[in-house]
Amino acid sequence: DVVDVRGLTSKGLFTYDPGFVSTAACESAITYIDGGKGVLLHRGYPIEQLAKHSHYLELCYLLLNGELPTPEEEEKFENTITHHTMVHEQLLQFYKGFRRDAHPMAILCGVVGALSAFYHDSLDINNPRDREVSAFRLIAKMPTMAAMCYKYSVGQPFIYPKNDLNYAENFLHMMFSTPCGDYQPNPVLSKAMDRIFMLHADHEQNASTSTVRLTGSTGANPFACIAAGIAALWGPSHGGANEAVLTMLDEIGEDSEENIQHFISRAKDKNDPFRLMGFGHRVYRNFDPRAKVMKETCDEVLKELGLENDPQLHIAKRLEEIALSDEYFIERQLYPNVDFYSGIILKAIGIPTNMFTVIFALSRTVGWISHWKEMVSGDNKIGRPRQLYTGHDVRDYPAK
């Protein structure tokens, strides 16, 4: 028995594991990671093979259903997603309630949570059909809602989805088309966008996915759960990292060796809270397999756009070189993570920095909803972590 200060007892072994470094909170058959070997598998398929041969919507099907689709299943799935891309016109009022300078993540958190107010017809979490419809709605509407965050912030009219474009092209269309002219899709950039979606689609029990599971364990509806995941993703130690990479590059400023070395020294100084953003990972202690794919895509995009000599990108490359050969980073196994390169690609495509985490949220929605679905369709137990109490012992209220 564990006895707490009130003298109450509870049965069983009590472990204390801050940050859940070695405690599994659930069973899952969706994603496998071997951080030591740099392995990431979705339903058994290596991420490198998926990134090379598959595309985002096929990966969504795989994550949700456990198997790759047949050609007929794929066509049906893509049609269904395409036909759910519009959002309710009344949702536009939610956007208009925000200040124009609101962070797009603040808006996204709010509007995704608000979806539960629009879809009363699919909120029965015990009904498999409702769970499926909610998944379709979320995957289909996220690009529309994400692009609307951007359009609102720059004061431009919202752009409606176009059903003849693929998922990545459609997102870029809703971001960059205006009533004065349509964005012309570029295959290299659309492929890069699709890769960014794929490489962020799922990563087992990270902070935001665990948040979605914990929220969902109470029986909360899927839209509320995903809104909670978006809030958790926002932090700079998680999804905010690719935005933080660009902020760091801005802070480094001038592209000079002296400047770069100064920031490397700051990253090593234990009295300075500064960390090299986009380096290190809680699980990957060898390399991040997603970063390898992302680096290749980064080179393709920079070549396509003729940006190989951009000074800020030169700083990024130099940081990478130094970190890979410096004792401090080698000893601590700190390698560039996926967000180091995704930030650089997004900037090159013309996506503003404050939209980076929104794009991560859009991509991760399928992972969140797959974990939520796996949890609520199985033996779900409400999540209720214990604590190690460090406060006062019992004491009497002072007499007045």
Interface ranges with ligand ACO (CB under 6 A): 237-239, 241, 267, 275-282, 332, 334, 337-339
Q: Pick the closer one to ligand ACO by CB: 142 or 361.
A: 361
Q: How far, in Å, are 18, 28, 289, 329 from residue 348 at the CA level?
A: 38, 36, 22, 27
In the complex, least distance from residue 60 CB atom to ligand ACO, rounded to whole angstroms: 19
Smaller CB distance to ligand ACO: residue 216 or 280? 280
Sorted by sequence, the CB contacts under 8 Å of residue 184 that are 6+ apart come out as: none
Q: How far is the CB of 355 from ligand ACO (least distance, A)?
A: 16
To ligand ACO, the closest distance from the beta carbon of 39 in angstroms equals 16
From 194, 202, 288, 339, the catalytic residue: 339
What span, in angstroms and rounded, lies between the C-alpha atoms of 40 and 21? 18
DSSP, collapsed to helix, strand or coil, labels residue 34 as strand
Q: Of 57 and 319, which CB lies nearer to ligand ACO in the complex structure?
A: 319
DSSP conformation letters of 290-313: HHHHHHHHHHHHHHHTT-TT-HHH
DSSP E strand boundaries for the chain: 2-3, 9-10, 31-34, 39-42, 45-46
Q: How far is the CB of 369 from ligand ACO (least distance, A)?
A: 18
d(C-alpha 58, C-alpha 19), whole Å: 33
Beta strand 39-42 with 9-10: parallel, antiparallel or unpaired? unpaired
Residue number, 77 or 329, with CB nearest to ligand ACO: 329
- Paired tokens of 316: 């990024």
**Could you tell me the two tokens for 36?**
């030591």
Q: How far is the CB of 182 from ligand ACO (least distance, A)?
A: 33
DSSP state letters, 157-170 = PP----TTS-HHHH
Pick between residue 114 and residue 193 the one whose CB is nearest to ligand ACO: 193
Cα(71)–Cα(62) distance, integer angstroms: 13
Task: Check 42, 103, 200, 281 and give the catalytic one.
Answer: 281
Burial 234-257 (b: 16+ CB within 10 A, else e): beeebbbbbbbbbbbbeebeeeee
Please name the residue that has the structure tokens 């009022």: 93
Q: Which residue, judged by CB position, is nearest to ligand ACO in the bound state?
A: 280
Nearer to ligand ACO by Cβ, of 174 and 245: the residue is: 245
Considering only CA atoms, which of 196, 212, 172 is closest in space to residue 367? 212
Identify whether 281 is a catalytic site residue.
yes
250 is catalytic: no
Q: Known catalytic residues?
A: 281, 339
